[in-house]
Structure 1
Amino acid sequence: MTVCGAVRSFRNLPASALTKIAQIASPPTTYQAGELISDGQGEQALLLVVAGKAKVSLLTADGNENILYLLNTKKDRHRSDSLN
């Protein structure tokens, strides 16, 4: 299964649409825990989290963090369940 096919929102797309998405997509990248992916100042992007966790947050002018979203993928939840 391709990365695009692994994304639930893309599963019902026709193969031609998945091919077009794959043609403009960057190669899969792995990030380390706590690594900043974007500071919000660059180009707009769609990030697909296939496995793992992600946090989307904003820093206020006084340095406080406002968490907008926490994401824990299904693959990561199953891995966590097996460790407990």
Structure 2
Amino acid sequence: MQVVRMNTHTDSDTSVERERERQRRLATFERGFHMFEDALDRAEAHVSDEAARMSAKELLELAYVDRIGGGSPS
């Protein structure tokens, strides 16, 4: 009697595994992206808070220094 082994791993199984891996990677990317967005939002809020505390003169000095690429305003 001859025993024939069948390969139970089909192309369909492989494509399902690939899709699961793709979904897992996409979810990981989305989590990282949302973490980055949240950090950026916090940084923007911090900058806005700092700018709100500065006088108009200080803001103009910073803008001038940034534009000319110089050192600290004095």
The TM-score, its normalising length taken from structure 2, stands at 0.20
Higher helix share: 2
Q: Compute the TM-score of the two structures, normalised by the length of structure 1.
A: 0.18
- Give 1 or 2: higher strand fraction: 1
Task: Return the index of the structure with the highest Cα Rg.
Answer: 2
